[in-house]
Amino acid sequence: MDELRIRDAVETDLDTILGMIRELAEYERLSHEAVADRSEMRRHLFGPRPKAEVLIAEWLNEEGPDTAGFALFFHNFSTFVGKPGVYLEDLYVRPAFRGRGVGRAMLARLAAIALERGCGRLEWSVLDWNQPARAFYKRLGAVALDGWTVNRLSGDALGAMATSG
């Protein structure tokens, strides 16, 4: 009966999502940056004006569902295409479920969501050193955007910029 199910996350999934975020941060060697607050995450994912959405991958077997992974995404906008897009912030498949099509299924669902919502693209970033992920995305037909560098303001730099007027 082993079967994969992809479903929208609900508020009762919050602790599971936070646990997988910590697992992902550890895998990406970024545990020190995983400081998400439970109440803030509840508000931003399940509050009156959600800022992001989450898909949960569950592996169904005789004992019931096992959480296999998650995908957290939100909408952005392309002025060049003139349409919204879907930005995949995190895609994580727990080690025990890798190689079973979970990542592909979540990306397929995200692609379908993007098309259903009239989006022009589905985008994400991947760490340069993560060769397994990069190879996986390439096999799916994703194109790495050479010539683009991600920039970020956060913490003190974000505050300083906001008050620089």
Task: Label the pairing between strands 3-8 and 122-124.
Answer: unpaired
Say if CB 133 and CB 144 are below 8 A apart.
no
Calpha distance 162→133 (Å, rounded): 35
Active site positions, annotated: 137
Task: Tell me how far apart the terminal alpha carbons of the chain are, to the nearest angstrom.
Answer: 60
Distances (CA, A) of 8 to 42, 56, 127: 15, 6, 26
DSSP label of 38:
H
